[in-house]
Amino acid sequence: MGPARQPLFSGTAPALVTPFTADGSAIDEAAFRALIDYQIEGSRFDGRLFEGVEALVVLGTTGENPTVTHAERRHLVDVALDQAAGRVPVVIGTGTNDTASSVAYSTEAATAGADGLLVVGPYYNKPTPDGVVAHVASIADATDCPIILYNVPSRTGSNLSAETTLRVLEDVPTVVGVKEASGNLNQVADVLAHAPDGVAVYSGDDDLALPAVCLGGSGLISVIANAAPGPVAEMVRRALAGSLEGARALHYALLDAMRASFVESNPSPLKAVLAAQGRMEAAVRQPLAPLSEPGSDDVFSAYADLIEAGAVPASA
């Protein structure tokens, strides 16, 4: 199966939202910097202060990467690395459905100092397994930066089967992790059962993080952690440590919010929550739309405790 890899992190990494100004025309750098600090420093829940996350993911699906311009992308990478300041690893989403663009974004991120790259399965084109392997190999040939392969068929329209994922892991040794967001625990188990030593498999679904870790996964790349980094990271830490009763307690405390995050297209629900916490504007870029009024009822009901626990103090 090739040489053992070294995972980029074990635990939780938020797939960070990209804060925009109220009209969506520009990046809100101050809000982005503050969000990074919030993730790393942790947050309160149920009367306790929990430590923050173990890594950051920038320009993933939740970061609205398809509508972020090239100049904005470069700026977000530089700001994230500057604000994180080596406290946790920073992984940059660089995958697209065009191999040449993915290579360019990857080399730029690596040159800027990224700790790792998140490479999504190519969307729209529907490549064969041979095409997927060649795509990832081309990115790996252009940079030595470690890669996390990202499977999210609900967005790409094309599932990276366990067999395809394992082929990538076999052929591309700089792929050190897999973000599995297929929603299929059987597929997660198949990857875990046959992955080379040292490859980290992360749940890409918040509500499947606990069972994925119990199967041998290394953690979670999370949506909900944006609003509640402390309890989400603590849930995963407890699961990794084998403290399953405590992990289950937090899983069920967060479950409604995990599900409500997808009542409409991510990150519209999440940004509405972050706006209610006072962390940023709720703006998303078209073709996404702001959270609807019917959706708001479900989201704010599910997130009520987390909004209160994570709200920015009036003095901030």
Residues recognised as catalytic: 150, 179
Bridge partners of 14, per DSSP, are 222
Whole-angstrom distance, CA of residue 114 vs CA of residue 109: 6
Query: Burial level of 128, CB count in 10 A (0-12/13-18/19+)?
Result: exposed
- Distance CA(182)–CA(233), nearest Å, equals 21
Nearest-CA neighbor of 299 among 260, 250, 249, 244? 260
Q: Which helix (H) or strand (E) holds 89?
A: none
230 and 53 in contact (C-beta within 8 Å)? Answer: no
Q: What is d(CA 209, CA 236) in angstroms, rounded to the nearest whole number? A: 7
How many other C-beta atoms can be found within 10 angstroms of the C-beta atom of residue 242?
A: 9
Report DSSP letters for 132-185, one per residue. Answer: HHHHHHHHHHH----EEEEE-HHHHSS---HHHHHHHHHH-TTEEEEEE-SS-H
Which residue in the block uniquely carries the two structure tokens 């940079």? 143
Question: Cα(17)–Cα(26) distance, rounded to whole angstroms?
Answer: 14
Q: Quote the radius of gyration of the chain (alpha carbons, Å).
A: 18
